[in-house]
Structure 1
Amino acid sequence: MKPIRLMTGFFTVGVWTLLSRVLGFIREVMILSLIGPGPMMDAFVAAFRLPNMFRRFFAEGAFNAAFVPMFSKRLEGNEGAPEFAQNAFAGLFFVVTVLTALGMVFMPGLVWLTAEGFSQDGRFDVTVDFGRIVFPYILFMSLSALFSGILNATGRFAVAAAAPVLLNIFVISALTIAALTGSEAINWLIWAIPVAGMAQLALTWRAASQAGFSLRPKRPRWNKDMRDLVVIALPAALASGVMQINLVVGQLVASQYENAVSWLFAADRLYQLPLGVVGIAVGIVLLPDLSRRLRAGDDAGAQTALSRAAEISLALTIPSAVALMVIPLTLVSVLFERGASGTDDSAAIATAVMIYGLGLPAFVLQKIVQPLYFAREDTRRPFYFALVAMVINAGLAVGLAPLADWLAPAIAATVAGWAMYGLLALGARGFGEAARVDARFRNRIWRIVAASVLMGIALWFLNTQLTPLLSLPWWRGIGLLILLTIGAIVYFGSGQMLGAFKLAEFKAAMRRGR
């Protein structure tokens, strides 16, 4: 087989995802500064969550979980991959177009189901109006996800990874224009979403055409390939639906508390930085690689790919989680506390960030283990595991609300995340050697943990020493940069000495194109 360059792909996706997340931070800082936690931001968050929820349900979740392995195997075996992609595109285009139309018609019902607490005040009508503007985003992003899947399966990761950057560029540009002209920032923000979706679709569509997959809207054809795709995608769709129910339950609980939806949204953006750069990047590259290796009977290569993906992921995730738990208030106050966002908002967001930090390794580990199932076209068991996680999440989110108030959804998400990973790991034991990490990983993981603990101690101590500097408005950013730089030096230095990793290995892997 012609192997996918795993390390090259990971770093390509990781770098572009990092750029997207950094721009996303700038975006969130501008939103919190120009709009701030309150009714307008609550309405935007709830409205924008709707197309994102359905996008993950139909495209990035269910559809790609079925499409990417099937397409990768046909590509590896020269078994009509272009025809399969065209039929899948036609079917997805039809289904999501119908869904988009229905969603815009029944928007009040969708808002009531996902943010029932808004019905008690003016946020409900505003959310409905915003929802009808941003909901077509699902059409553009679902089709873009299909083209991204094609590009990833062929080892062309750059364009697919770069596409999400466009959303942040468009939103930042729109908010900048609003600030300079004195216009209503929320209006510019809302209309930037569908325009950015069109730009992302155009970019990935053109790249797929250049890769030899020129797809056009056509009448869907129902054949055996499409039946197999639906059979595999349906459990994944249900699993994605379960995960989205978790988000909705959390939002329903949070909507009962003033500003809570905005606070949780900001906290989610912060922990999504390492999750996106590491976990999602590895999952994107690992799925087509495992699929093609299993098709070629390369179990040893599959084990190596899994082990290296887990190793590099946790080497970056564990210290990130420690930082989120040790210095959350410093991170939040420097990044978000300005304009319409005050000290009380920072304290609330920081508490949620600390809770999400506890669950970060679990969310990343899920992204590593799930491709083991999807590469084998096994989407049923992840669905059953997701059902269990949903029950845990819903029970804790609702049950803890009288005790933990608006923080209950964050606690529930973290506990459910670890439960989901545990179930996935237990279920994967029957996949043989290809699903087991190798001796090198087992030897290094505890050294990674030790280096992360040393970094956490250093961050805690330095944070207390730099408190005067961090309290000065014009020097907070410099203080945080110093803090993170020293923390990184401690982590990578101690990790190198303890044998947690060897930085030269990453350079060598990039040179070899692995």
Structure 2
Amino acid sequence: MMSNQAGPSTKSAARDAATVAGWTLMSRVTGLLRVVVAGAVMGPTFFGNTFQIAYVLPGLVYSTIAGPVLGMVLVPAVVSAVERSGREHARAISSGVAFRVLVLAVGASILLLVLAPMIAWVVTLGYPAALVEMDEARRLAILLFLFVAPQIVLYSVAALGVAAQQAHGRFAISAGAPAIENLGLIATMVLAGLVWGAGLEIGEVPTSMIVWLGLGSTLSVGLHALLQCFGAARCGMLVRPSLRAARSPDSADPVQRLIRSVGVAAWPSLSMFVVLTCAGTVAGGVIIAQMAYAVYNAAAYLTGRAVSIAALPRLARAAAGNGVDLATRWRQCTGFALLTSVPVLVALSVLAVPVADVLARGRLAEPGVVRDLAAVLVVVAFAQLIGGVHDLGRQALFAARNEIRARRGSEVASVAALATAALALLVPVEGHRIVVLVLAIPIGELSGALVVLAAVRVTVGSARLLDGPAAVASAVGSVAMLPVLLAGLSWYVIALPGTASTLGIVVIVSAAAVAVYALTAHRRIPQLGRSG
């Protein structure tokens, strides 16, 4: 009887993962395009470094107080409440959690405003005084921080909407809405380049341009939050923050779990801030590092991370049963993660140079930048596979209410990433410092994944963790697609095409390689989650 249920359950999990991946594709592609446009408009400049750090800072602060942990905590709580007591109980829990999260977000926004001068000093600390007017650099940074501080509250509103949708198995709007934010910022930067000019360095940037960029980015985040509220309303879960609900024991439990898990998001946020600040020692380094993170996130959210997002409600239900149920769900998820992540690793590694050629446009189209970016892409190709496993393990631990081990994994990952970033500063700028710096991503994720996987092993007992057929299928499929990718690389090297032609080569070759991979792996895909 259990085997009869495995098929539909596996198909449902695959369908949800495909929904997340499909809508996330739009969001992540536009997110990558946003960084490409930033590079084209701002170029390898220290002003570009300043703006990119200012733009991501509210998201990093939000991640510190809640971030992805909010969904990991709130989704299982809402799922459990709906099954035990109905939707109204779930709404009450969400209302209480929303009140506490938004209070924290407002406090964090105020704190960012107060600490803006100190943060500006830290961000610009590595700028070369011989090339940059330091006082002006810090003035511009402070002004940008003033405009983007409200985004912390807006990101919190958006995240509450995302959690409400995911708890009810709705993934389309939650995964696709960030595209609106990206498109809004793209329009803001393009207009800034047309009105004030491209490639401006600190000392050349007028205050009016800073005001435009700050307002445009915040309004874009506001549109994103509005869409997530709409998605929550469609699920009947658009709630009003309530102090009374926040005081109830049912709301207090997920909030306490959120507080215990702060390190899960805070440590990675600190790591990213340090990596970007260190990248600021290289002209245009923050933009290259942001491209690395954009490609990493695009790949991860289309592969292992998409699987983990779609799997969280099912993992929560399985964890309420027994270790065998959780192990079965885990094998299904790791099977999907391997089947989607491995071909991305192979394709991105082989096509790193032509992809870098496509991404480095406008003011960023310099031979040295393209070489460094290609090396960075190979690094993130491995990082997306490792990061997907790490994220899936964290989801399983949260479903099993083992937040302490999930937090420990994030702490270990961040320490490893910070150590790598510190060592990168010993490498000369001309010695590919930015490439060594980006190694912090896979090294950190690998360290965290090892800790998390050890905890998952303890949680599920002696049951198998790896879906063997999926692992074999991904390996065989990757070998089959390799000749197609190498032929495409040869085509690029021989033709040395322009931007549009290079993009065409990358798209055509990638599509052909994926088709070969899918055909080769197809016979083993139906076995996902059924063996053992």
TM-score, with length taken from structure 1: 0.89
| Corresponding residue of 2:243 | 219
> Is it true that 1:272 corresponds to 2:286 in the alignment?
no
Change beyond 3 A, Cα 1:363–1:107:
same
Mapping 1:91-102, distance limit 5 Å: 91-102=100-111
Q: Identity of counterpart residues, as a percentage?
A: 20
Cα displacement (A) at 1:25: 2.9
1:47–1:131 Cα contact (<8 Å) kept: yes
Q: How many residues align?
A: 499
Q: 1:34 aligns with which of 27, 31, 41?
A: 41
Cα displacement (A) at 1:381: 1.1
Cα displacement (A) at 1:84: 0.9
Greater Cα shift, 322-331 or 401-410? 401-410
Cα displacement (A) at 1:466: 3.1
> Is it true that 1:84 corresponds to 2:93 in the alignment?
yes
> Is it true that 1:157 corresponds to 2:171 in the alignment?
yes
2:64–2:265 Cα contact (<8 Å) kept: yes
| Corresponding residue of 1:509 | none
Q: 1:450 aligns with which of 476, 486, 504?
A: 476
Q: C-alpha deviations, 1:51-97, integer Å up to 9, x for none?
A: 11122222333333322222221122126212111111111121211
Change beyond 3 A, Cα 1:434–1:331:
farther
| Corresponding residue of 1:357 | 381
Change beyond 3 A, Cα 1:37–1:258:
closer
Cα displacement (A) at 1:398: 1.2
Mapping 1:137-286, distance limit 5 Å: 137-178=151-192, 188-219=212-243, 221-286=246-311
Q: C-alpha deviations, 1:359-392, integer Å up to 9, x for none?
A: 2211011121111110122111122222222222
Q: 1:70 aligns with which of 77, 98, 107?
A: 77
Cα displacement (A) at 1:18: 0.3
2:396 is paired with a residue of what secondary structure? helix
Letter in 1 for 2:151: Y
2:43 is paired with a residue of what secondary structure? coil
> Is it true that 1:391 corresponds to 2:415 in the alignment?
yes
> Is it true that 1:105 corresponds to 2:129 in the alignment?
no
Q: C-alpha deviations, 1:189-211, integer Å up to 9, x for none?
A: 43222112222222222332332
| Corresponding residue of 1:487 | 513
Greater Cα shift, 139-148 or 65-74? 65-74
Letter in 1 for 2:188: A
Q: 1:336 aligns with which of 340, 360, 376?
A: 360
Cα displacement (A) at 1:352: 1.4
Letter in 2 for 1:495: A
Letter in 1 for 2:27: S
Greater Cα shift, 204-213 or 365-374? 204-213
Letter in 2 for 1:428: V
1:216 is paired with a residue of what secondary structure? coil
2:382–2:442 Cα contact (<8 Å) kept: yes
Cα displacement (A) at 1:158: 1.8
In 1, the alpha carbon distance for the partners of 2:122 and 2:499 equals 41
| Corresponding residue of 2:54 | 47
2:411–2:448 Cα contact (<8 Å) kept: no
Letter in 2 for 1:110: I
Letter in 2 for 1:16: W
Greater Cα shift, 6-15 or 250-259? 250-259
Cα displacement (A) at 1:318: 1.0
Change beyond 3 A, Cα 1:333–1:466:
closer
In 2, the alpha carbon distance for the partners of 1:288 and 1:119 equals 49
Change beyond 3 A, Cα 1:63–1:201:
same
1:68–1:149 Cα contact (<8 Å) kept: yes
In 2, the alpha carbon distance for the partners of 1:473 and 1:55 equals 37
> Is it true that 1:126 corresponds to 2:133 in the alignment?
no
In 1, the alpha carbon distance for the partners of 2:30 and 2:212 equals 17
Q: C-alpha deviations, 1:265-321, integer Å up to 9, x for none?
A: 1222223211122233222221122112333x2765544432222222221211111
1:235–1:379 Cα contact (<8 Å) kept: yes
| Corresponding residue of 2:15 | 8
TM-score, with length taken from structure 2: 0.86
**Structure 2 unaligned residues grouped into runs of 5+:** 199-208
Greater Cα shift, 127-136 or 174-183? 174-183
> Is it true that 1:459 corresponds to 2:459 in the alignment?
no
In 2, the alpha carbon distance for the partners of 1:72 and 1:3 equals 17
Change beyond 3 A, Cα 1:474–1:60:
closer
In 2, the alpha carbon distance for the partners of 1:62 and 1:485 equals 34
In 2, the alpha carbon distance for the partners of 1:435 and 1:41 equals 50
| Corresponding residue of 1:406 | 434
1:337–1:343 Cα contact (<8 Å) kept: no
In 1, the alpha carbon distance for the partners of 2:102 and 2:122 equals 26
Change beyond 3 A, Cα 1:157–1:434:
farther
In 2, the alpha carbon distance for the partners of 1:86 and 1:435 equals 38
**Structure 1 unaligned residues grouped into runs of 5+:** 507-514
Cα displacement (A) at 1:436: 4.1
1:46–1:115 Cα contact (<8 Å) kept: no
Letter in 2 for 1:148: V
1:77 is paired with a residue of what secondary structure? helix
Letter in 1 for 2:77: M
2:35–2:287 Cα contact (<8 Å) kept: no
> Is it true that 1:307 corresponds to 2:331 in the alignment?
yes
2:261 is paired with a residue of what secondary structure? helix
In 1, the alpha carbon distance for the partners of 2:179 and 2:329 equals 27
In 1, the alpha carbon distance for the partners of 2:521 and 2:63 equals 36
| Corresponding residue of 2:504 | 478
| Corresponding residue of 1:511 | none
Cα displacement (A) at 1:493: 3.3
1:153–1:288 Cα contact (<8 Å) kept: yes
2:295–2:380 Cα contact (<8 Å) kept: no
